[in-house]
Amino acid sequence: MQKSNNCLSYDRVLTLLPMGFKPMNIINSKQKLYQSPKGIILLKESQIYRPQNVLWSGVDKDMLLEKEVSFLCMTAGFMGILLIPVECLIQYIENNNVSTLKNGRTNLRIRTDEGRFVLYDTNAKELDLTNYFIQNEYNESFQDSI
C-alpha cells in the first residue's frame, strides 16, 4: 500500500492496527499480503466514493483461502480502517448472491451511514461491519467530504 491522496497511507494504517497485530512483515508485495502475529493480513485501500458514501474493493475468494489469509484490512478513506476476519467475508460470499467482476473477484461494497459500516450487494443480505472499524484518531476525514 503506497502513499495515497484518496485514503490513509500504509504508515498510518500500521499505527491504527491493535498491538496484537504488530510487528507486520511483508510476504507478498504485489498482493499486499503481510504476516502478523494474528495471521496473514491482506491490505486493501478504498476512498469514500461520494455522494453514495460507499467504499469499494474487489477480493479473490480463492486467493484468500489458498494463502490462508486471516484478516482483510481495508482503508475507509481517511476515517480509519476496517479489520475484518476473512472467515466472516467467506461466509458472506458463500451465503449470498454477491456480484463478481470479469476476472472472478468478488465485489465488496460497504456503505458508510451515520457511523455504521454495512457490507451489501444488490441481491444479498446486509452485514453490519461496524464492530470491525478502527477510527483514525488524527481524523483527516475532512478530506473525505471534499
Of 128, 119, 131, nearest to 54 by C-alpha is 119
| Per-residue pLDDT tens over the stretch 11-22 | 899 999 999 999
**Is 4 inside a domain boundary?**
no
Residue 5 lies in a domain: no
Amino acid at 11: D
Domain that holds residue 132: 10-145
User: What pLDDT tens digit does each residue of the chain (146 aa) get?
Assistant: 444 578 898 889 999 999 999 999 999 999 999 999 999 999 998 888 887 888 999 999 999 999 999 999 999 999 999 999 999 999 999 999 888 887 888 989 999 988 899 999 988 899 999 999 999 987 555 444 44
In a domain, residue 139? The reply is yes
Identify the pLDDT of residue 115: 87
pTM: 0.89
Q: What's the half-sphere exposure (Cβ side, CA atoms, 13 Å) at 27? A: 14
Number of domains forming the structure of the chain:
1
